[in-house]
């Protein structure tokens, strides 16, 4: 890549120079930063290209997982993206990158230790299509994940788009509901802290009385028969038996926000570990990495 970034990247960034400078002018001089170099934002640029390619073939998609948490204010490190596509179109999406028009740019990849990843994550991700980008200076990978795994309808009306890169993410209530039903409390905790969610917000936007389903319940038989599942045992992918009090789980995460604020944060200046008092919604800030 050109040291200054591609011409297209420079043009995309340039329209945000004036808003960036206005935003910096509101800050004390010692907190102001110069306008951005396009090079650190390759992942978001790659994401937009993949989204365009899928949409050209009539496949709606959105970015979920760690990158969605970044969009909603949790500064997580992310080098592998998750693209949620309609379950019935997963095979078509896979074909685009494995045998179709994008096969020259991407290589199918199972990861270095897919079995270990499956055991640690407790997910079915090792069974989903996964690719690496060819001809790139750093390792960039992505999954194609069926919408049934995320438990929401992967359709444009359920997406919202980032301002700078125009990347689709699941709407906040759907993302939170999915994390709740999947009982992914670590990610849900970061979502609560990134967006400073409240119990009142939860009552108005979440369905606490939905029973939830086991992750494996609706998966195809060939996934259930995957050798890694046989090796480790299927219980690694199953949620705990019995009813789960989703309202209590969410309330507990909300009520403990202040306990998660680190000692490095000045006392009294933060509402959560990610949000300073009176800070704006992170989605309203100028950000080029999401």
Mean pLDDT, 10 residues at a time, the chain of 290 residues: 42 67 78 61 81 95 96 88 95 90 82 56 73 68 90 95 92 95 91 98 91 50 62 58 82 96 84 92 88
Mean pLDDT for the chain? 80
**Do 32 and 45 fall within a single domain?**
no
- What does the pLDDT read at residue 170? 98
Query: Is residue 13 located within the same domain as residue 68?
Result: no
* Residue 71 DSSP SS3: helix
Query: 212 and 74 in one domain?
Result: yes
Give the number of domains in the chain. Answer: 2
Nearest Cα to 128, choosing from 79, 171, 85, 178?
85
pTM, whole model, 2 decimals?
0.80
Q: Are residues 5 and 52 in the same domain?
A: no
Contacts 24+ apart (CB under 8 A), 45-52: 45/9, 45/165, 46/81, 46/133, 46/136, 46/140, 46/142, 47/81, 47/83, 47/142, 47/165, 47/167, 48/165, 48/166, 48/167, 50/81, 50/83, 50/142, 51/83, 51/167, 51/168
Element (H, E) at 146: strand 141-146
71 and 150 together in one domain: yes
Q: 217: which DSSP letter?
A: T
d(CA 173, CA 201): 9
pLDDT tens per residue across span 12-24: 566 667 777 887 7
Shared domain for 14 and 114, answered yes or no, is no
Domain that holds residue 106: 41-284
């Amino acid at each position: 890549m050109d040291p200054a970034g591609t011409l297209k990247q420079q043009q995309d960034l340039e329209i945000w120079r004036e808003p960036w400078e206005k935003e910096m002018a509101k800050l004390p001089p010692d907190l102001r930063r110069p306008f951005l170099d396009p090079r650190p934002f390759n992942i978001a640029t790659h994401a937009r290209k993949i989204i365009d390619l899928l949409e050209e073939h009539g496949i709606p998609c959105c970015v979920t997982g760690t990158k969605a948490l970044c969009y909603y204010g949790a500064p997580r490190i992310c080098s592998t993206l998750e693209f949620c596509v309609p379950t019935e179109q997963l095979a078509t999406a896979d074909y685009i990158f494995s045998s179709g028009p994008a096969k020259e740019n991407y290589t199918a990849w199972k990861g270095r230790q897919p079995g270990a990843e499956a055991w640690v994550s407790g997910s079915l991700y090792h069974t989903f299509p996964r690719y690496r980008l060819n001809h790139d200076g750093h390792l960039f990978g992505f999954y194609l994940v069926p919408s049934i795994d995320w438990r929401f309808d992967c359709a444009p009306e359920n997406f919202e788009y980032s301002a700078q890169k125009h990347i689709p993410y699941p709407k906040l209530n759907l993302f939170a509901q999915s994390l709740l039903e999947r009982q992914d409390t670590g990610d849900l905790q970061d979502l609560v802290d990134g967006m400073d969610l409240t119990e009142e917000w939860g009552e108005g936007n979440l369905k606490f009385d939905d029973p939830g389903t086991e992750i494996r319940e609706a998966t195809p038989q060939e996934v259930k028969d995957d050798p890694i599942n046989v090796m480790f045992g299927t219980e690694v992918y199953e949620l705990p038996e019995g009813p789960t009090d989703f309202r209590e789980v969410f309330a507990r995460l909300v009520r403990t926000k202040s306990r998660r604020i680190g000692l490095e944060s000045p006392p009294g200046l933060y509402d959560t570990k990610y949000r300073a008092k009176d800070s704006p919604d992170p989605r309203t800030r100028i950000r080029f990495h999401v």
